[in-house]
Amino acid sequence: MTAETRFLRADAHTVNGLTAYVLGKEPSVASDSLGISVYLAETYADQYLAMEVCRRSKDGKETSISGGLIGEVKGNDTGLLTAKWNCPKVDLAPTDAIVLHVYGGDSSPPSKLLASFITEPLGAKSLDEAEWTINLMLERKYEVVDSQPITTYSLLIGSTSFIENFTWTPYVLIAELMPQVVQIISATLIVIFIVSLLKQVVRSLRR
């Protein structure tokens, strides 16, 4: 069983037919901001973020693991927003990847798809039951442009938004088992050789 922190990175890749941001083991050097809401005024307005967790197979078929939006958080100023979610155990094929569809907006539940994030093909037997900690960095930016006050809310990605305790079990390949298989076969052959040798000794003693 492997427990990881997975970062909502700012670089993209294509996995199982989906081009999306990387849901990676390490943060990305680059950062990006995903726009949630814009107001033509100086304001503090509640913003909501949530996500759907899916399994994506090699043929591009997606199946929801979360059964809808989970991990909803709310904030109206720059800061890290945190939620908990109990991930169920889900059997996976080695070529499956996990997708996060992240939504935002100024109402609950949020309905605007901000971006999708996908892992590499995990090579996993299962995504395991575990309590995830979902950390999403909200940014509020206020500026005046041509005498017009503007308040912008965004989700920051790259290194500041991440999932903790992303837990899965690797799929054990036959190749990985070969050293153990060789050891067992070698030990068995040695035992057979010793037994055969003992039988020859017994026969010679009886003569």
Q: Which residues contact 3 (CB under 8 A, 6 or more apart)?
A: 130, 165, 166, 167
pLDDT over 90 (residue 173): no
Q: State the pLDDT confidence band at 174, using cuts at 50, 70 and 90.
A: very low
Residue with tokens 């299962």: 126
Beta-carbon count within 10 A of 71 CB = 23
**What is the residue whose two structure tokens read 């900690």?**
133
The residue-averaged pLDDT of 42-46 equals: 98
| pLDDT mean across residues, the chain | 92
Q: What is the reported pLDDT for 155?
A: 98
Q: What is the pLDDT of residues 90-137, one digit of tens each?
A: 999 999 999 999 999 999 999 999 999 999 999 999 999 999 999 999
Q: Strand 47-56 to strand 97-105: parallel, antiparallel, or no bridges (unpaired)? A: antiparallel
- The pair of structure tokens assigned to 196 is 């055969």
The residues facing 63 across adjacent strands are 55
pLDDT for 175 beyond 50? no
Q: Looking at this protein, which amino acid is placed at residue 70? A: I
When computed from its CA atoms, the radius of gyration of the chain, rounded to whole angstroms, is: 26
Cβ atoms 49, 110 nearer than 8 A = yes
Q: Which residue has the higher pLDDT, 101 or 178?
A: 101
Taking Cα atoms as reference points, which of 8, 10, 131 lies closest to residue 71?
131
* pTM confidence score: 0.83
